Amino acid sequence: MAKKKTSFVCRECGYESPKWMGKCPTCQQWNTLEEELVIKTSTKHRGLGQQSGQKPEKITAIETKEEPRMKTDMPELNRVLGGGVVPGSLVLIGGDPGIGKSTLLLQITNQLANKGNPVLYISGEESVRQTKLRADRLDVSSDQLYVLSETNMSIISAQIDQLNPSLVVIDSIQTVFKDEVTSAPGSVSQVRECTGELMRIAKTKHIPIFIVGHVTKEGAIAGPRMLEHMVDTVLYFEGERHHSYRILRGVKNRFGSTNEMGIFEMKESGLHEVLNPSEIFLEERSQGVAGSTVVASMEGTRPVLVEIQSLISPTSFGQARRMATGIDHNRVPLLMAVLEKRVGLLMQNQDAYVKVAGGIKLDEPAIDLAVAISIASSFKGKACSPYDVLIGEVGLTGEIRRVSRIEQRIQEANKLGFKRVIIPARNLDGLQIPDSIEVIGVNSIQEAMKISIIE
């Protein structure tokens, strides 16, 4: 009897090796290589074309038409997806356990089913009775919503062929398996093969498919990294389980802009949209307190006003601490070094704690000025003007650099009743300023401090 051939596959990145190694040479992770049987599979039906042997076509001769997107009753979700659900798309949703992924998808399927389109919800983790209990709590009661509890990919494919739904949800991809692959569900081979089969179904039948992905303890989607490369759209569901607000963030989208963000609030009846997130992030803001500033940050195409809080206190140990929540922790010591060298604020023996209020994460350079002024305000013990919004990137020489989409940021600040916006001076060229708000251009961080901090 022929000996079965095995290989070792990294569950993090998909790297294959003929022998076991303690450390993956590709992703540098320890103890991630798992042994799997090598099965020779037929490639006859793996192509996305209708028949094998298709000939190349000139791109100018290919006829295209704008396919109508499937609109849900959630404008926030439609915007994150780029305008709605695209027929034939494969969408991956990841998030922490209990964050609300299944709740969101059950609400989406009910909304689309209410429009007369059959929708198939496949759960590999819950029975149909458990899904029904959640549906009763969310008031989901459409006759066109079909529920199936199954993990075998062959049966799932047969049910999709028989029902021919307008939308399919797989909850979750780590529980689905193919009989031809001998490894356990959730392994690299199973996730790769099942996702490839779902992609073939989506593209050939023009059925949009949503798949749920588990996440690791670091927050990344579990399984091989190629899972995110194979799908058309990757959405991350973020938020604290002990808080009611949830953020749906798009990190990849072949049919729309990336880095879009939608905000929802979890209630007893399910997820509800937050149409004006700036008011939510600023509703508990304390005015007249040192260390508090407001910045207009861009999340995709939407400007959002959030509060930056800083606390500077003398250190009790030999080495000062630098801690940050909601922004890159390396940005805090960098901005403190600029304040010390260019402004003359001696903060070598000061602990620094910086936080973005509301639990949102900011990663664009336009928040530098607000963070730096917040740190300087707390260090001096003097409050900033509560009606100011600060926007700008801070360079290592203390200059304030230009940022993008400045008009949208100013309009958002004006809408919420702020009186002044401090921006880079170079952004003033050709800028249309509303009459009800004052816009001040600054060239250096010293100028911004003189204007914003109340002496």
Q: Which residues are annotated as a binding site for ATP?
A: 95-102
- Report strand pairing: 90-95 vs 233-238: parallel
User: Nearest-CA neighbor of 419 among 403, 401, 435?
Assistant: 435
Q: Alpha helices of 244-367 — where are they, by DSSP H? A: 277-282, 331-338
* 29, 222 Cβ separation under 8 angstroms: no
* 162, 205 Cβ separation under 8 angstroms: no
Distance of CA 384 to the CA centre of its chain: 32
CA distance 240 to 430: 42
CA distance 130 to 349: 56
Look at residue 408 and give its three-state secondary structure.
helix
Strand order in the sheet with 33-37: 16-17, 6-10, 33-37
CA distance 95 to 220: 8
Mark the binding-site residues, compressed into ranges: 95-102
- Where are the strands (E) in 300-431, listed by range? 302-314, 322-325, 350-356, 388-390, 393-394, 400-401, 420-424
- Where are the strands (E) in 83-166, listed by range? 90-95, 119-123, 145-149
CA distance 59 to 340: 57
